Chain A
Amino acid sequence: MTEQRFIVALAYQAGYSPQILTGQDGRIDYVSAAELEKAAHSFARNGMGGGAFHVAGTDAEFEPTESWIHRGPDWTVTAPDGSVTVVKAGDWLVGGYLSPAAWEMYKRGKITGLSPQGAGRRVTTRRV
């Protein structure tokens, strides 16, 4: 049976979420819904490139083919790994095809999600 190797995942959620983890730069960054929509649009304008593990030269490992901002009501999804994610309005989702090698890594749990790569500006630091 031919495998499609197509995945859909949350690229980033709108607003702060306790789910957000520390990034590679050691910081926890969140994006407002408006800025996230602009970020998703910049991704489309830049050609919707893909890659794996933020390593140069891996653009063939993941080929994004869909990118959209969720507009509807809350969408509760039970992921293939059993975890439950609630996609909210304003969240940015990306779908695309993994290479055969990346698909094998997904099936072995080595690839579990998507992560945008680009440049931005930190505007505030909330103090609590």
Chain B
Amino acid sequence: MAEPTEDADDVGELADLDIKTVHAVGKAANGTTILLAKSAAAADQAGLFGADYVRDLIAKGADGEPPAPEDEKLTPAQAMALVHAASVRKASPPEVTAAKADGTDPGSPMWEGQDATAAQTLIDQILAVLPGVKALAQREGAEVGAGHMDDLADVCDLNSVADALMCAAKTLGGFAVSEHAESGGPVIKALQAPNTSAADATPTTQESTVTSPSDGAQPGAATTDTAAVAKGDAGLSETELAQYGRLALAKAAAKAAKKKAKASGAAAPDDARLIPGTQTVQAPAQGPDDVMKAQATQFVDAVSQAMAPLAKQLGELAGVVKGQGERVDTLMAGPDDRKSPLLNGAIGVPSLAQRGDGPTATPEFRAVLKAIEEIPEGPAREQAQKGVALAALKARFAPGS
């Protein structure tokens, strides 16, 4: 056992432990992780025979003879013959319950095949609707071109519908492929699958990016290095669907860019919507509202950056004010004895100071002070106080006093 090498104050040995519970935690203090995890149910584990099935195999003889009674002694040759017969029996294919062939058994190959066929039918129907939607978009676009600018929103809406239809077709394509595979149909998947991520991504109306059709790829022209998750021998492959989607979205993006340029009166270049350095065209998802939101966000960011030093300075000032306030509170909490060195003898009331047993402590001087205090406040009283104070000082510091 290795000795502790950590900081001495942090390492200790435990004893007399009384453990109530054991908890599943994110990071165990013992420094280890979960060793085993069983996710599949035992009955689902492929390649394993059930215990009863194995016992049944062993019990059966190769020629159907009943097993020997337990108390009957076997010769080694007989035992070997039984073991051999059991192994021969075990090697024979086990009887399995065949799935229903009428497609009513959920999860059966025929069931999955029906789902794949249904999905393919839906894809065909969606793709059949798509041209009509695009035609409507073109007609609305023509209205916009004729000066009916209020139809621009309709064009955007119809393009969104087309995008959604393509998204649905692509999603259904993936579903159809998986169902077809589960039905036992042939599925071919190439090792290299460029653009697979783009094909798999489900585009939304807000953040979709599509590849320009200028790369020359056309639907149905999949090459050997293209993601070819083929759907058996019929229908569209997922690659074809993805390319259809890219084409449709790219066309929509280019169309929207042109219409926007036309509406603003400026001739935009053909690659105005291309992301620099790529063949990727931005989707026509940035409407006026999105632009306003982006500008508002930029404004807020700029103001936040500009306000940052000021906010820091305000914070420091707030700290100073708070410190001064605490000092005042501390002073106010102290005793008001009027003799504190901080007051330096002052009592807060303007009058002549009373100092010890000097001349100012005589009855005559006190009588003078009392007479002065009876003078109404004003210049005459101040003049009298000054004169008496000067006389008191002279008397206090006069030679021989």
Interface residues of A (CB under 8 A from B): 1-24, 26-32, 35-36, 38-40, 42-43, 46, 48-54, 58-59, 61-62, 64, 67, 77, 79-81, 83, 85, 87, 93-96, 98, 102, 106, 110-128
B18 and A119 within 8 A (CB): yes
Chain A to chain B: the 4 pairs with minimum beta-carbon distance, closest first? A113-B28, A19-B31, A39-B17, A118-B19
Q: Chain B, 1-30, contact with A by CB distance < 8 Å: what is the 0/1 string?
A: 111111011111111111111111111111
**Which residues of the partner chain B approach A40 to less than 8 Å between Cβ atoms?**
19
A49 → chain B closest CB, angstroms? 4
From A67, which residue of chain B is reached at the shortest CB distance? Answer: B22
A58 CA to B25 CA in the complex, in Å? 11
B255 → chain A closest CB, angstroms? 42
A117 and B10 within 8 A (CB): no
B1 → chain A closest CB, angstroms? 4
28 CB contacts below 8 A, A to B, read A8-B35, A10-B32, A10-B35, A15-B2, A19-B30, A19-B31, A21-B27, A21-B29, A22-B29, A28-B11, A29-B29, A30-B13, A31-B14, A32-B15, A35-B13, A40-B19, A42-B19, A46-B19, A46-B20, A49-B21, A51-B22, A61-B24, A93-B35, A112-B33, A114-B23, A117-B23, A120-B17, A122-B12
**Which residues of the partner chain A approach B35 to less than 8 Å between Cβ atoms?**
8-10, 77, 79, 85, 87, 93
A110 CA to B36 CA in the complex, in Å? 16
A55 → chain B closest CB, angstroms? 8
B14 and A29 within 8 A (CB): yes
From A82, which residue of chain B is reached at the shortest CB distance? Answer: B33
A2 CA to B44 CA in the complex, in Å? 8
B17 and A31 within 8 A (CB): yes
Q: Which one, B1, B3, B39, contacts A4 given CB within 8 A?
A: B39
B38 within 8 A of A: yes
**Which residues of the partner chain B approach A28 to less than 8 Å between Cβ atoms?**
4, 6, 10-12
Q: Most chain-A Cβ atoms within 10 A of its Cβ — which of B3, B6, B8, B11?
A: B11
B4 and A30 within 8 A (CB): yes
Q: Chain B, 38-55, contact with A by CB distance < 8 Å: what is the 0/1 string?
A: 111110100000000000
B12 and A111 within 8 A (CB): no
Q: Which chain B residues (116-135) contact chain A, with CB distance < 8 Å? A: none
**Which residues of the partner chain B approach A79 to less than 8 Å between Cβ atoms?**
32-36
From A23, which residue of chain B is reached at the shortest CB distance? Answer: B29
**Which residues of the partner chain B approach A20 to less than 8 Å between Cβ atoms?**
29-31
A52 CA to B16 CA in the complex, in Å? 24
**Which residues of the partner chain B approach A116 to less than 8 Å between Cβ atoms?**
17, 19, 21-23
B328 within 8 A of A: no
Q: Which one, A6, A125, A127, contacts B37 given CB within 8 A?
A: A6
A38 → chain B closest CB, angstroms? 7
B22 and A64 within 8 A (CB): yes
Q: A77-B36, A83-B33, A126-B11 are in contact. Are A50 and B24 (CB under 8 A)?
A: yes
**Which residues of the partner chain B approach A7 to less than 8 Å between Cβ atoms?**
24, 34, 36-38
B6 → chain A closest CB, angstroms? 5
**Which residues of the partner chain A approach B44 to less than 8 Å between Cβ atoms?**
1-2
Q: Which one, B14, B22, B42, contacts A120 given CB within 8 A?
A: B14
**Which residues of the partner chain B approach A127 to less than 8 Å between Cβ atoms?**
8
B22 and A117 within 8 A (CB): yes
Q: Which one, A2, A46, A51, A123, contacts B23 given CB within 8 A?
A: A51
Q: A27-B11, A120-B14 are in contact. Are A128 and B22 (CB under 8 A)?
A: no
**Which residues of the partner chain A approach B26 to less than 8 Å between Cβ atoms?**
53, 110-113
A118 and B21 within 8 A (CB): yes
**Which residues of the partner chain B approach A80 to less than 8 Å between Cβ atoms?**
34, 36-37
Q: Which one, B10, B18, B20, B22, contacts A22 given CB within 8 A?
A: B10
Q: Which one, A19, A106, A120, contacts B15 given CB within 8 A?
A: A120
B16 and A35 within 8 A (CB): yes
From B25, which residue of chain A is reached at the shortest CB distance? Answer: A115
From A75, which residue of chain B is reached at the shortest CB distance? Answer: B35
B23 and A53 within 8 A (CB): yes
Q: Which one, A2, A3, A94, contacts B22 given CB within 8 A?
A: A94
